[in-house]
Amino acid sequence: MFAPRPLVVAALALVTCADRPLGATETGTSDATTTTTTSGTTIEPTTAVPPLPSTTTSDDSAGTTLDPNIKLDLLEPRPGLIGCSLDAPAGTALEGATDLGPFMAQRAYFGWSHFDNHRYEPQLLFVSPGADPAVEVLHSHGNTGAILYGNVSTDPFDGGGWVGEWSGQLDVFDQGQLSAAMGPQTVIIDALAGNWDEFDPADPPRLVGSIQGPISGPFDAVFCDELNVQITTD
């Protein structure tokens, strides 16, 4: 089980984020190439795992063979998937008590983390009503308001699309403060929803599930590549 310390992941997320315009924030700013409003579309979640990227190499003279150097459990869930929808769908209702005070969130986002030869795992971000998601998906420090942020230790994506019950290490950050003794939470991923083949602003990839712990409740998290963290050490 791998649970990186949130402060390290948050700092590194800033380094790895792409410098590109974000999608629409809740104040009304829009970018036609990256934003979406999902409230008007009814989408049925599915537990079906999207097909894996090709693991074969082509040789016109010898045919197609499996590349023995590729480890399936280290494949990125969706190579080249780029996009970030700040218009989070309805369905998230987290609440609980921390040493920093009550916490609640109705907006959820996800990306994935990858450290050296470790498998890809989900990164989750839950934003309180007072926080600005356009800032928090970049920095995840809670500088604009309280957030719940961290990673989930799962099986490899190709082994079931992260669907199942897992241990998560998520912490509350608020105005430079970190909640104490949050401990591990149980994160249940019930389904993958939306379009995982490519980033479709009208139907972005989503993770649907719930959290059990000091902070608990259902979530419907929308994909944001700004939360992707990839670290390779020498």
pLDDT, position 148: 97
In this model, does residue 79 exceed pLDDT 60?
A: yes
Lowest mean pLDDT among 97-101, 135-139, 182-186: 182-186
pLDDT, position 74: 52
The answer to pTM > 0.85 is: no
The bridge status of strand 164-174 relative to strand 101-105 is: unpaired
d(CA 213, CA 74): 29
Percent of the chain topping pLDDT 90: 53
Overall average pLDDT of the 45-65 stretch: 44
Overall average pLDDT of the 45-74 stretch: 44
pLDDT, position 160: 84
In this model, does residue 38 exceed pLDDT 90?
A: no
